[in-house]
C-alpha cells in the first residue's frame, strides 16, 4: 500500500464510478460488497465532527470510521459548521486511518431539517463565506485530498452551484461532487444534469456528478451528457451493488452484462448479513431487514419474506429465512428453468 497520500487522480481514475455516502446504509459491510463488485471508491456514512470532538469514545461515531479489509481504503465524509472543529477532526481522521483513508469529504448538501437547522449540510450553501473558511481550513489541516459535496442550491430561487464550485476550487478543494437537486427538492423531481455540465465547464478540478443514477445506462448517460470525471451512485445501489459491475462493463468494453440471477441476489444478501453480524452483532438485525428487502425486491414471494423479516430479532433467523427462500427459488428454477 502506498506510503504517500494518494492524489485525486489516483483516487478518481478516468470514468470512476463511486458509491456515495448514505446515512444508515453505507457502513463497512455494504461498502465492501460494492467495492468487490466494481465500485472505484466508497464513502462512509456522514460523520459528525462535533460528535467526534465532544464524545471521542462514542461507539456510534467510531463505528462509522471502520474500514473493511476488502475495501483497502475509503473516503470519509464529515459534516458540521464549526471551522476549527471540522479541521481538527479531519486531521484526526487522517492520523487515525492512515493509508485506509483516500480523502476527506465535507458534506455541504444534506437537506435534513435537524442538520440544516444547525447551519450544517446544505445550509452552508446559504453562507458561502463560512463554507469557504471551513473548506480552506480542512484543506490546510489535512495531508490527503479534501473534497466537498453540495447541491444545486438552497431552492429554485437561489441556485448557486457554479459559483460555489469555483469558490471551493479557490480555497484548495481537490474535487467537488454536485447532487443536482436543491435542498427544497430533497429527493423529489429530477436532478438537473445540465447544471452539472455547467459546473464541469466552470472549474479545472475534477467534478463528480450525482442524482438520478439508478442503472448502468444512467451512469453512461451522465458521463456523455455532462462530461464529468466521475459518477456517484447512491440510492441506485441499494439492493443492487451489481450496478457497479454492469457500469464498468459498459464503460470499459461496451458490453452489457446479464443482471444477477435471483439466487445470486439471495447469496449476496446472505453474505451481507453475515458480514454485518460480524461487525455489529445482533444490532445488525434492524439495518439488515431493509437491506434484504432491497435485495429481494421484485422477486417471487418477496412480499411474504419481507413480512417475515419484519418480526425477526436474531441474525440466525434472517439467515434461516433466506436459506428457505433460496431453496424455494431453486425449486422454481428447476421446475421452470426460468430463474
DSSP string, 279-296: HHGGGHHHHHHHHHHHHH
Neighbours of 330 (CB within 10 A): 14
122 annotated active-site: no
Which letter does DSSP use for residue 337 in this model?
A: S
Write out the three cell numbers for 219: 451512469
Burial of 42 (C-beta count, 10 Å sphere; 0-12/13-18/19+)? buried
Pairing of strands 16-19, 74-79: unpaired
**What residues contact 6, with CB distance under 8 A and at least 6 apart?**
73, 102, 103, 144, 145
State the first-to-last Cα distance of the chain, in angstroms, to the nearest integer: 41
Q: What angle do CA 309, 312, 318 make, to 5 degrees?
A: 65
Q: Which residue, 56, 59, 141, is CA-closest to 104? A: 141
Exposure string (b/e) for 74-91, b if CB count within 10 Å is 16 or more? bbbbbbbbbbebbbbbbb
Within 13 Å, how many C-alpha atoms sit on residue 175's CB side?
25
Q: Which of 74, 110, 122, 142 is catalytic?
A: 110
Angle of helix 302-309 versus helix 315-336 axis, rounded to 10 = 170
State whether the Cα torsion 288-294-298-299 is positive or negative: negative
Residues taking part in catalysis: 110
Amino acid at each position: 500500500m502506498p506510503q504517500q497520500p494518494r492524489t485525486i487522480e489516483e483516487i478518481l481514475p478516468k470514468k470512476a464510478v463511486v458509491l456515495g455516502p448514505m446515512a444508515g446504509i453505507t457502513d463497512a459491510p455494504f461498502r465492501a460488497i460494492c467495492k468487490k463488485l466494481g465500485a472505484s471508491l466508497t464513502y462512509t456514512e456522514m460523520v459528525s465532527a462535533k460528535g467526534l470532538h465532544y464524545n471521542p469514545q462514542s461507539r456510534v461515531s467510531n463505528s462509522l470510521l471502520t474500514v473493511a479489509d476488502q475495501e483497502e481504503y475509503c473516503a470519509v465524509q464529515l459534516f458540521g459548521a464549526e471551522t476549527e472543529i471540522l479541521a481538527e477532526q479531519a486531521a484526526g481522521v487522517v492520523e487515525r486511518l492512515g493509508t485506509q483513508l483516500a480523502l476527506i469529504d465535507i458534506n455541504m448538501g444534506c437537506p435534513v431539517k435537524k442538520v440544516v437547522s444547525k447551519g450544517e449540510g446544505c445550509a452552508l450553501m446559504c453562507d458561502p463565506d463560512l463554507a469557504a473558511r471551513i473548506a480552506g481550513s480542512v484543506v490546510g489541516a489535512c495531508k490527503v485530498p479534501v473534497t466537498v459535496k453540495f447541491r444545486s442550491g438552497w431552492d429554485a430561487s437561489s441556485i448557486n452551484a457554479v459559483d460555489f464550485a469555483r469558490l471551493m476550487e479557490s480555497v484548495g478543494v481537490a474535487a467537488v461532487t454536485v447532487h443536482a437537486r436543491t435542498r427544497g427538492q430533497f429527493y423529489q423531481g429530477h436532478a438537473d444534469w445540465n447544471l452539472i455540465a455547467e459546473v464541469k465547464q466552470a472549474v479545472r478540478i475534477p467534478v463528480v456528478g450525482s442524482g438520478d443514477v439508478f442503472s448502468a445506462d444512467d451512469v453512461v448517460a451522465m458521463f456523455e451528457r455532462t462530461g464529468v470525471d466521475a459518477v456517484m451512485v447512491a440510492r441506485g445501489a441499494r439492493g443492487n451493488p451489481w450496478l457497479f459491475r454492469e457500469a464498468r462493463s459498459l464503460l470499459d468494453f461496451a458490453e452489457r452484462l446479464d443482471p444477477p440471477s435471483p439466487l445470486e441476489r439471495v447469496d449476496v444478501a446472505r453474505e451481507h448479513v453475515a458480514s454485518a453480524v460480524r461487525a455489529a452483532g445482533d444490532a445488525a438485525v434492524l439495518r439488515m431487514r431493509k437491506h434484504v428487502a432491497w435485495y429481494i425486491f421484485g422477486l417471487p414471494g418477496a412480499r411474504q419474506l419481507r413480512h417475515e423479516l419484519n418480526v425477526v430479532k436474531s441474525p440466525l433467523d434472517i439467515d434461516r429465512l433466506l436459506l428457505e427462500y433460496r431453496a424455494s427459488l431453486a425449486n422454481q428454477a428447476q421446475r421452470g428453468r426460468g430463474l
